[in-house]
Every structure is written in C-alpha cells, then in structure tokens.
Amino acid sequence: MKLNKFAAAGLGLLVGIGALTIGTGVAAAAPTFQLPFPCGQTWEGQTRSDHSPANAVDLNRANDDGDAVVAAASGTVSRVENEGSTSYGRWVEINHGSGWTTRYAHLSAQRVSVGQSVSLGQTIGNVGSTGGSTGPHLHFEERQDGAAVKAKFNGTTALYWGSKSYKSNNSCGSGGDDNPYDAEEVCGSGYKVVDSAALSTKGRVYLTYNASNGNNCVVTMKHTKLGTGSTTSAFLEVQGSARTTDSGSFSYYAGPVRKQAADTCVKWGGSADGSTYTSGFEHCG
C-alpha cells in the first residue's frame, strides 16, 4: 500500500467570498477551527514575521512525511492545485462559508476534489515537501475574505511569533482527547496514520502504514466510556484475502490488526458502541 496521489493542475486567481455582515459591518464569526491533524496528536507550530503570508503556521513533528492532514472544519473543497516545485506545491483550499477558507500546502498527496463536501476531521491529504519547501511540514492558513488572519485552534489564537506545541482536539468527541493511547502507539514503531474516519462521537478508526515493511495496521480508538468495557471492533481486509477482525468489550481501543499490503488495495473499518465505518477498497499503491 502506498499513498494515493492526484492533483488538479493549474493555478487560478483566488475568488474572495464576501463576508456576511451582521448589524453594522460586523463579520460573521469564524468556525471553531481545529488543529488539522487526527485527535490526540501533538505538533510543533511555528510562526514568524517574515513568513509568506505572515499569519500562516508551519506545523512539524518528527518523521512527519506522509502523515494524514485532516480538515480543520467542515466545508466544501474550493481548490486543489499543483504548482510543481514552486510556492505551495500541492495544496488544498476548503471554503467554510461566510468568507472563511483554510489552506493546506506542501502536501505529498491530495485526497479530495473540487466541489467535494468534507467534514471536520476528514482526511484531505498527506504531509509532504512539495513546492518551495525545504523539508516535510504542513503550511496552514486560516483566511477571511481572501486574506490570511492569525490562526486559532479550538478557539485559542496560535502563538505569534515563535514556536509552540499544540495537541489536536480534532473530532475527538466527548472525552476522546483523554484516551491515554493513540493509534500510532498502538500499532507500533514505524506506523504512521494515512487515513481515519469518525465513529460519530463514540470513537475514531485509523488506518496506518509502515513503509519499512509494507504493513497496514487498523485500530479503533474509543472516545467515550473510557476505562469501561464496551463493544468495539477493528478490521482489515487485503483485496483477495480474508478479512481479519478484532472485536470485543474493550476499555480503550480495538486492534491492532496488521496485514502485509504493499501495492495492494485494502478495505478497513471498525465500530465503537454501535457506530460503524467500512471503507471501500482503496490505498492501492
């Protein structure tokens, strides 16, 4: 299994969406943007006055090349661009309405298309080093009426100027950020999240990949009833082979379910307390 890679070519002019005004010229409130990474992950955010644009945030963590990038809020994909070896490289823009957009740049892969509706926490691409980047990271912007503004994560303004660690609360659900484990830790050394799906507010199922051995791993992380046994499952099916499922009454997570799947399509999913997800065959190489 390798990451899906596609990009829409061309670069058009940004079309600003007019701000909704309330009363006398007061712009509509921004969405409650979240860190653009799966629940529980910790990333180092850097801001600097000579950045272009200055209000953008560069987000890094160790060995982050290929890590999943998720939507900071729900919306509609307005741009999927590829500028080659210059500027943003591969990037995605999401329109959140009322003049608010977000941009995700230097991606290694784009996993959405223009006009597609996306939900908070949905995987939209993967961290890379395309364009004018000098190393893998995510360049992230929150924009109002076409201009980058100071980013907020979960209602709190990012540190300007300097570096700060941020822990993602994106699609954690009630208590999800309190789960003492995360998917990459459960799957083991070398596994990186490449996709995930929400199980309502009950949990989240993660697909990870280990590039060193070609193995996939699926784990379902609970967000509710933490520390108490409740019905939870995770499964992985390599195309042409039988499905393997881990299911039972678990306190924190189901899985890990690991299978060798280099250059082969996989179907994956899981459940938590009655909420389920099943993918199609994807991530084919």
Q: What is the average pLDDT value for the chain, to the nearest integer?
A: 90
Instruction: Please report the pLDDT score of residue 21 as a whole number.
Output: 38
The C-alpha atoms of residue 101 and residue 144 are separated, in whole angstroms, by 7
Q: 9 pLDDT exceeds 60?
A: no
Q: pLDDT grade, residue 171 (50/70/90)? A: confident
Share of the chain above pLDDT 90, in %: 83
Instruction: Please report the pLDDT score of residue 140 as a whole number.
Output: 98
Q: Which residue has the higher pLDDT, 75 or 7?
A: 75
Instruction: Convert the pLDDT of each residue in 254-273 to its tens digit.
Output: 999 999 998 899 999 999 99
Instruction: Please report the pLDDT score of residue 143 as a whole number.
Output: 98
Q: pLDDT grade, residue 40 (50/70/90)? A: confident
Q: pLDDT grade, residue 14 (50/70/90)? A: very low
Q: 230 pLDDT exceeds 70?
A: yes
Instruction: Convert the pLDDT of each residue in 131-161 to its tens digit.
Output: 999 999 999 999 999 999 999 999 999 999 9
Q: 238 pLDDT exceeds 60?
A: yes
Instruction: Please report the pLDDT score of residue 273 as a whole number.
Output: 95
Q: pLDDT grade, residue 6 (50/70/90)? A: very low
Instruction: Please report the pLDDT score of residue 12 as a whole number.
Output: 37
The C-alpha atoms of residue 127 and residue 201 are separated, in whole angstroms, by 26
Instruction: Convert the pLDDT of each residue in 88-142 to its tens digit.
Output: 999 999 999 999 999 999 999 999 999 999 999 999 999 999 999 999 999 999 9
Which string of DSSP letters, residue by residue, matches the chain?
Answer: ---------B-----PPPPPEETTTEEPPPP----SS-TT-EEEEEE-TTSSSTT-EEEE-TT-TT-EEE-SS-EEEEEEEE-TTSTT-EEEEEEEETTEEEEEEEESEE---TT-EE-TT-EEEE-B--TT-SSSBEEEEEEETTEEE--EETTEEPPSSEEEEEE--TT--TTGGG-S--HHHHH-TTEEEEEEEEETTTEEEEEEEETTTTEEEEEEEESSSTTS-EEEEEEEEETTS--EEEEEEESSEEEEEEEE-TTS-EEEEEEETTEEEE--SB---
